[in-house]
Amino acid sequence: MSESNNNRTQTGTSYEEIQSLANGILSKVKGRPNIGIICGSGLGKLVDVVTDQEIIPYKDIPGFPISTVPGHEGKLVFGKLSGKSVVLMQGRVHCYEGYPPQKIAVPVRTMKMMGVKTLIVTNAAGGINRDFKVGDLMIIKDHVNLAGFAGVNPLVGLNDERFGPRFPAMSNCYDLKYRQLARSILKELNYQDFMREGVYSMMVGPAFETVTECKLLSILGVDATGMSTVPEVLVARHCGLKVFGMSLITNECVMEYDSEQFANHEEVLETGKKRSENVKNFFSIFIEKIEV
């Protein structure tokens, strides 16, 4: 491998390193998960419904990226949820924390090597769609990788075919059967009043969007926007995992130039707290019914 190619892989983690990371984690727990769940801002309370818990803080895992954001506790939680073996990431890392997107790929690839076949991603998002209200739950049907337009993509660099193909298809990122199941469960729970389905976009952050940026996202067909999820989904699909995604709408994006409203992280966490029981109810049923 040439020196230039070596440089291109500096920010990544090799297949052997991921394998070692996965084996090291599994050596510390009894659980063998086939479902992975990434909990977004304010959504970490989903861990409350996990039984037989085995917990490993990220800081105790050499080479594992560590969360630095309020609302992201930074723990791997193994256990049972609705009879299925799961591993929850109680908190994630983001590009705005200084991590390259290739580093954000590490937890997803590690879960894959631990036996995970389905990845569930959740996030807190701002509502772009004017019909969306604070507290709505949005099933993600697609995303716009705006950061990817500028090269912020975890798949950039040399490709190891053992992870996945050089040019992975992304036309069915969010599994259709999972989305259909989610819609039926939300109706069974009488959550229709705050049930949505739409397109998510990722901005790198940490600054919230300007009014003009929100207007642009609306023109592009985006329904909700946040600062995460897309890199994890790209990596998950690259390595063959099925994906289900859900956003909690925690604020309505400001679309008027003269508005005195502004987005803030405290509002995000507060909305997550208020909707936590609904989220736990939904995922308890969803995980029971999905075919992994």
Which residues are tagged catalytic?
41, 72, 94, 96-97, 124, 227-228, 251, 265
Residue 258 phi/psi, 5-degree rounding, is -95, 10
Relative orientation angle of helices 276-289 and 265-274, to the nearest 10 degrees: 60
Helix 176-188 to helix 276-289 angle, to the nearest 10 degrees?
130
Q: Are 233 and 155 in contact (CB under 8 A)?
A: no
Gap between the Cα atoms of 171 and 27, Å rounded? 36
Compute the C-alpha angle 40/45/46, nearest 5°.
80
Q: How far apart are alpha carbons 292 and 280 in whole angstroms?
A: 19
Burial class (CB in 10 A: 0-12, 13-18, 19+), 150: exposed
